[in-house]
Chains A and B, each alone.
Chain A
Amino acid sequence: MWAWIFHKFTGWVLVGYLFTHIAVLSTAIPAASADPSTLAASGDIYTQTIVTLEELLLVRMLEVGLLAVAVFHILNGLRLLLVDLGIGLESQDKSFYASVMLTGAITVASVPTFLAGAL
């Protein structure tokens, strides 16, 4: 049951992020009409929006959280695909614990990359 609850929770977070992500990336639409010198100097609204967000430690930490959520959803999703194919039915609980531990390990290992330049 915990796998189902976590999968639903991470799914809600990811779908919420998808809408936010496209909203932020949409700044590329006005940026596309900026003059070439502004684009070359990274002075356009898209680049400036991303740079400003990435300067915030909170945003970097939220990105680590997003990675954790995405990795768990991917690993547990793989588990569900295998279970639906009838593979590993007897070891569902073990594969869930493995998904959680692997998510933790990948997330911790990624922290230096995500926080680089923000501290």
Chain B
Amino acid sequence: MAEHYSSFTKGGRLWFVQRLTAAFLVIVLAFHFFLLHFVNHADEVTFLMSQARMRNLTYYSLMILFLFTATFHGVNGVYNALVNQGLTGTKRKVTKWTLVAASIVLLVQGVRTANAWAGGVPL
């Protein structure tokens, strides 16, 4: 049997949330790629087409949830990989809060973009 490698301590809270977001992202990332590259082709994208999709509350909600889970999963993955490589002390704290700040910027910009298409939350 091959050895089991992981950047996470199995059973921890972050490990569990990482796995939970992974289960969601497996489906939504595949859907996102399929819809925007195979059903609709990327070179045919227009603002109005993107707007039509984002004005649908179900699609808008899914994309917002996708943004939040992908950001958490990605940034938490990077943080754990760095900790796993031996990041400790002040460097660890600075890295953690830099990643938190970068995540907030990404989330704010992502929501602003979604709202620009949808004209606000499409209720």
Q: Which residues of A pack against B, CB within 8 Å?
A: 1, 3-4, 8, 11-12, 14-15, 18-19, 22-23, 25-26, 28-29, 31-32, 34, 39-40, 42, 44, 46-47, 50-51, 54-55, 63, 67, 70, 74, 77-78, 80-81, 83-84, 89-90, 92-93, 96, 110, 113-114, 116-118
Contacts and interface: CB of A to CB of B under 8 A. Distances in A.
A103 to B, nearest CB: 13
Contact of B71 (A18, A74, A118): A18
B110 A42 contact: no
Contact of B70 (A18, A89, A92): A18
Contacts of B110: 22, 25
B78 A83 contact: no
Q: Which 8 A-B pairs have the closest CB atoms?
A: A15-B74, A4-B5, A54-B43, A32-B116, A92-B2, A93-B2, A29-B116, A50-B45
Interface of B: 1-7, 10, 19, 22-23, 25-26, 29-30, 33, 37-38, 41-43, 45-48, 50, 67, 70-71, 74-75, 77-78, 81, 102, 106, 109-110, 112-113, 116-117, 119
Contacts of A116: 41, 43
Contacts, number: 115
B48 A39 contact: yes
Residue with the highest number of chain B CB atoms closer than 10 Å, among A26, A28, A92: A28
A102 to B, nearest CB: 13
Contact of B78 (A11, A34, A96): A11
B2 A96 contact: yes
Contacts of B78: 11-12, 15
B109 A22 contact: yes
Contacts of B46: 42, 47
A12 B82 CA distance: 11
A46 to B, nearest CB: 5
Contacts of A34: 47
Contacts of B43: 50-51, 54-55, 116-118
Contacts of A26: 109, 112-113
A47 B70 contact: no
A46 B70 CA distance: 23
A3 B37 contact: no
